[in-house]
Amino acid sequence: MPTIDLYTDGKIHVASEMRERDMVKLVPGTTWDREGKQWTAPLSWGSCIAFRGVFGDALQIGPGLMDWAQRARDERIDPAMRMRTALESPALMESEPNLYPFQRVGVDFLETTGRALLADDMGSGKTIQLIRTVERLGPYALPVLVVCPNSMKYTWKAEIEKWSDLTASVVDGTAAKRKKAIDSHDDVIIINWESLRLHTRLAPYGSINLSDKEKELKELNAIDWGTVIADEAHRAKDARSKQTRALWAVSRDAKHRFAATGTPIESNPSELWPIMNFISPQDFPRKTKYIDRYCLQSYNPFGGMDIIGLLPEHAAEFHAIVDPMMLRRPKDVILPQLPPKLESVRY
């Protein structure tokens, strides 16, 4: 009968029999500790859900992990799940009167979770919700790094100045000007996706060999980021791309991580993993294990494997892990709260 518990090293330790090792390895992120002669897993809600999914009622949970999981459920998981269907946040009605009700819910969700994917449709004010969240989180959320499309850098700066008292600098221009902006000590530094890899080391991934230059710490790595925001985060759906691995590297020590995109999945569930790994690498540690456990695969005409959807038998487990970190309200839900569309003919 397997038992999992929280140890002083901050990891989940697994006490199991030899015949159960293949089942233990089904949980994403499990590794064999040769020194301790035990299986370990990252401390995360995702690990807990996956262990229960693999072992069912036979799983025993130790007191340390039970206490941690109960606090996580009370403080983060249950409140986040309630907010996913809420149309108003009574707690923020007085403090955020300039937001639409669904935006107050979004801010409440992001503030409560601390790390999340905001996947509302385009035009719903995701930028405003993120800005208000950062200011509400206070000084421990600073400084903030915003990674966004090049065309949106100065829009972000204007919105920050409009919706908060935070100061912001845009990384733009020559190498000297970009370095000056990074060293500005403003509350928020805004950089475009294409430039990010020029100012941070790259994270390793799979069998990709890093050059000496890609391993070097750069300007952005010298800053202790409180928050990293990935705007239009679907640009990080390719785990092998340099801009995705730059995002991972620059954000690894950030307390708060938020992603925003109206299209988190364009073709199959595997595209979600790089974004969720940015948000919470403890919950989404390994892409191969993620695909094996949660993705439905089929042979293509060339003999390879294509991902065609979620694996039905593990879909509930998948949503139990993802849903507390992802908020998506479609337009037909929030449209009644938005003002009427105004049309004008100029020429």
- Does residue 344 surpass a pLDDT of 70? no
Task: Bin 56: left if φ > 0, else alpha if -120 < ψ < 50, else beta.
Answer: left
Of 67, 94, 120, which residue sits at a domain end?
67
Q: What is the mean pLDDT of residues 96-119?
A: 97
Q: Is the peptide bond before 143 cis (omega within 30 degrees of 0)?
A: yes
What distance in Å separates the CA atoms of residue 221 and residue 224, rounded to the nearest whole number?
Answer: 8
* CB-based contacts of 342, cutoff 8 Å, min separation 6: none
Number of domains, the chain: 2
Q: Are 230 and 247 in contact (CB under 8 A)?
A: yes
pLDDT band of 304, cuts 50, 70, 90: confident
Of 67, 100, 118, which residue sits at a domain end?
67
Among the residue ranges 10-19, 176-185, 279-288, 301-310, the one predicted with the least confidence is 301-310
Chain position carrying tokens 């000590």: 185
**What is 209-225 written as a DSSP string?**
PPPHHHHS--GGGGS--
Q: Are 107 and 89 in contact (CB under 8 A)?
A: yes
Task: Bin 173: left if φ > 0, else alpha if -120 < ψ < 50, else beta.
Answer: left
The model carries a pTM of 0.94
> What pLDDT is stored for residue 343 in this prediction?
67
Same domain as 154, residue 207: yes
Report DSSP state, residue 261. -
CA 48 from centroid of its chain's CA atoms = 18
Same domain as 217, residue 290: yes
Q: What is the mean pLDDT of residues 96-121?
A: 97
Look up the domain containing 60 and give its range.
3-67
> What pLDDT is stored for residue 347 in this prediction?
67
Domain assignment present for residue 77? The answer is no
Same domain as 90, residue 61: no
Domain containing residue 57: CATH number: 3.40.1170
Domain assignment present for residue 119? The answer is yes
Could you give the count of Cα atoms lying within 13 Å of 319 in the half-sphere of its Cβ?
8
> What pLDDT is stored for residue 201 in this prediction?
98
Closest CA to 294 of 271, 312, 274, 306: 312
Three-state DSSP string of 122-156: CCCCHHHHHHHHHHHHCHHHCCEEEEECHHHHHHH
> What kind and span of H or E run contains 14?
strand 11-15
Helices marked H in 223-284 — which ranges?
Answer: 242-251, 272-279
> What pLDDT is stored for residue 342 in this prediction?
58
The percent of the chain in helix, strand and coil, each rounded to the nearest 5, is 45, 15, 35
Same domain as 277, residue 216: yes
Domain containing residue 262: CATH number: 3.40.50.10810
What distance in Å separates the CA atoms of residue 21 and residue 26, rounded to the nearest whole number?
Answer: 9
What distance in Å separates the CA atoms of residue 220 and residue 201, rounded to the nearest whole number?
Answer: 9
Same domain as 100, residue 49: no
Domain assignment present for residue 79? The answer is no
